[in-house]
Chain A
Amino acid sequence: MFTEFAQYVLNGLVLGALIALPALGLTLIFSVQGFVNFSVAAQMTVGAYAAWLAGAYLGWSSILMLLFAFLVPGMLGVAADRLALAPIRRQSGAHTALMLAVVSIALNLAIENALRFLFGSNLNSFDIPVERNLQIWGLSVGPQQLRNLVTALLIAVALAAFFSLTRWGKAMRAVADNTDLARLKGIEPRNLANLATFIGMGLAGIGGSLLAIDTSVDPSTGSRLILVIFSASVLGGLTSLYGAVLGALIIGVMGEVAMIAMPPVYQSLTAFLAILFILLVKPTGLLVGAEGVRK
Chain B
Amino acid sequence: MTSYLLFIGTIAAIYSLLSLGLVVSWGQTGMVNLGLVGFFGLGAYCSALLTKFGAPIGVGWVAGAALSAAIGVAFCLLTRTLRGDYLAIVTLGFGEGLRLVELNERWLTGGSDGISGIRAPLKDTLGDLYPWFYFALAWALVALVVWVLTRILGSPFGRALRAVRDDEKIAAVAGKNVLRLKCQAFGIGAALFGLAGALYAHLTSYISPDNFVVQLTIYIFLAVTAGGYSRLIGAVFGSLAVLTILESSRFAAEYIPGLSAVQIASLREFAIAVALIVIMQLRPQGVFGLRNERAGAGAIDATSSAPTVATASK
Contacts and interface: CB of A to CB of B under 8 A. Distances in A.
Contacts of B81: 279-280, 283
A117 B104 contact: no
Given A92-B304, A275-B90, A283-B81, A265 B277 contact: no
Contacts of B305: 91-96
Interface size class of B (residues with CB under 8 A): 35 or more
Q: Which of B81, B100, B262, B273 has the most CB of A within 10 A?
A: B273
Contact of A117 (B86, B263, B280, B301): B263
Contacts of B92: 38, 226-227, 230
Contact of B34 (A105, A234, A269): A105
A234 B92 CA distance: 13
A93 B30 CA distance: 12
A113 interface: yes
B78 A276 contact: yes
B284 A91 contact: yes
Q: Which of B84, B103, B215, B304 has the most CB of A within 10 A?
A: B84
Interface string B85-121: 1101110111011001101100000000000000000
Contact of B270 (A117, A263, A280, A293): A117
B276 interface: yes
B266 A116 contact: yes
Q: Which of A93, A234, A293 has the most CB of B within 10 A?
A: A93
A110 to B, nearest CB: 4
Contacts of B104: 263, 265-266
B97 A269 contact: yes
Contact of B32 (A98, A230, A268): A98
Given A91-B305, A97-B84, A114 B266 contact: yes
B281 A87 contact: yes
Interface in B245-280: 260, 262-263, 265-267, 269-270, 272-274, 276-277, 280
Interface string B70-92: 00000000110111111011101
A266 B280 contact: no
B274 A36 contact: no
A226 B97 CA distance: 12
A187 interface: no
B181 interface: no
Contacts of A114: 266, 270
A116 B280 contact: no
A59 interface: no
B237 interface: no
A272 B272 CA distance: 28
B262 A116 contact: yes
A93 B306 CA distance: 9
B157 to A, nearest CB: 21
A219 B262 CA distance: 12
A105 to B, nearest CB: 6
B72 to A, nearest CB: 15
**B contacts with A: majority SS:** helix
A109 B273 contact: yes
B136 interface: no
A123 to B, nearest CB: 13
B280 A88 contact: yes
Contacts of A113: 266-267, 269-270, 273
A107 B277 contact: yes
Given A35-B85, A279-B82, A265 B270 contact: no
A102 interface: yes
A231 B96 CA distance: 13
A99 interface: yes
B299 to A, nearest CB: 10
B93 A94 contact: no
B218 A227 contact: no
A120 interface: yes
B215 A109 contact: yes
Given A93-B305, A263-B104, A106 B93 contact: no
A75 interface: no
Contacts of A268: 96-97, 100
B266 A279 contact: no
A113 B217 CA distance: 16
A97 B260 CA distance: 37
B214 interface: yes
A103 interface: yes
Given A98-B88, A101-B88, A117-B267, A283 B34 contact: no
Given A98-B84, A110-B274, A280-B78, A105 B214 contact: yes
A-B interface, 3 closest residue pairs, ranked by CB to CB distance from nearest: A93-B305, A110-B273, A116-B266
Given A94-B305, A230-B93, 7 more contacts: A88-B280, A91-B305, A98-B84, A101-B32, A226-B92, A226-B96, A234-B89
22 contacts: A87-B281, A91-B306, A92-B304, A93-B300, A94-B166, A95-B30, A99-B284, A101-B85, A116-B266, A117-B270, A120-B262, A238-B86, A265-B100, A265-B103, A268-B96, A272-B90, A272-B96, A273-B97, A279-B79, A279-B82, A279-B90, A293-B83
